[in-house]
Amino acid sequence: MKRIAALGLALAMAGLLAAPAYAVPAEVTAPSAILMEKTTGKVLCEQNADAQYEPASVTKVMTLLLVMEAIDSGNLGWDDMVTASPHAISMGGSQIWLKENEQMSVRDMVKAVTVVSANDCAVALAEHVAGSETAFVDRMNQRARELGMERTNFVNCTGLPAPGHLTCAYDIALMSRELILNHPAIREFTTIWMDTLRGGAFQLSNTNRLIFYYEGATGLKTGFTDTALYCLSATAERDGMELIAVVMHAPTSNDRFDSCKTLLNYGFANYAITPVYPDQAIPPVEVILGERDTVQPVTARECSILLEKSKAGNITTQLELSPQVEAPVEPGQKLGELKVLVDGEQVDAIDLVAAEEVPRLRIGGIFKRFLNTLFLRGE
């Protein structure tokens, strides 16, 4: 919650989050799929989203999450130099062919992992952050538990085939949401279509084709092995709403991209982030023994809700305010709630708080007010 507040985003959806998600559109051919809205975490539609599969390189969403957390906490710098170990260069699969003891900046390695799924850079980053890939994987599994990823077990930081290395579409959506919601700087890399490394000598082309042709695409990570088949966590944003579409075990590369495109199209066609405003002006609250007689309540945060577009006209609000409050009143002190209802059912509640401080009257002020009251009564 602290991370959400730090981004200035507050879209509580207690009521709607509890509602069951719809089945995915029939055009989705992947056996496991899910569509989630970023800010609320609401699942919009799903199909076998708890089924466990090998995630292949979609694993690297968690690798990137831990790297971004290390950067944002100050424990790792973008310009820090990372040295390629013999273990890192032995990975095989997708890579940028690091040489033993070759050094590359964190920024360039994150770019390589994000754009071309470089296994050698993923391991080099893991070793740099945690001391060894094994220690890093322990952190991956701990973070997964913290995020509620109950059907996930990581064995490595790359997604290369390994017994017991499993997750599910729902868990991938959870870690993808955590990455893009709380570490928006990753978008600098996930939206790259083509780039270079090593001073222009090494060409990069994004494995996620949606970045090239899907309107609003923002990422995120592809994956493929012979046993995992084709996987994808795809993100896109339109009109202030960002969606996460995950497919696993798709039979072909085209199937994974087409399935994610279908999911994203469904979400953007049927849902919107809708701002909510009070149906009436918020009245002031009486202050007892304050230097001012009233204090003005304001909403503690912006209020927007994720809503089916067909229900956009069915939003109402209810004010619940304390009739009076005793001084002193602190800025931000809760004075009531603004309840948000859709079709008469509550879906959110926003605290109404004091806009400013109201100090308590001192003895002299109380006496003066008493005399003024007597004088007014005498009239």
- Quick one: DSSP state of residue 219? E
The residue type found at 279 is: D
- Between 119-130 and 60-72, two packed helices, what is the crossing angle to 10 degrees? 40
Q: How many CB atoms lie within 10 A of CB 151?
A: 16
- Quick one: DSSP state of residue 150? T
Instruction: Tell me the backbone φ, ψ of residue 131, rounded to 5 degrees.
Output: 100, -30
Is 232 in contact with 66 (CB distance < 8 Å)? no
Q: How many CB atoms lie within 10 A of CB 336?
A: 18
Is 206 in contact with 187 (CB distance < 8 Å)? no
Is 294 in contact with 286 (CB distance < 8 Å)? yes
Is 32 in contact with 49 (CB distance < 8 Å)? yes
| Cis amide bond preceding 374, omega within 30 | no
The DSSP string of 264-307 is HHHHHHHEEEEE---SSPPPPEEEETBSSSEE-EEESS--EEEE
In which residue are the tokens 């990975």 written? 91
- Quick one: DSSP state of residue 28? -
Known active-site residue 57:
yes
Q: Which of 117, 176, 259, 304 is catalytic?
A: 117
Which residues have C-beta within 8 Å of that of residue 265, sequence separation ≥ 6?
none
Q: Which of 57, 94, 176, 233 is catalytic?
A: 57
The residue type found at 304 is: S
Known active-site residue 117:
yes
Q: Which of 38, 42, 60, 111 is catalytic?
A: 60
Known active-site residue 132:
no
Please identify every residue annotated as catalytic.
57, 60, 117
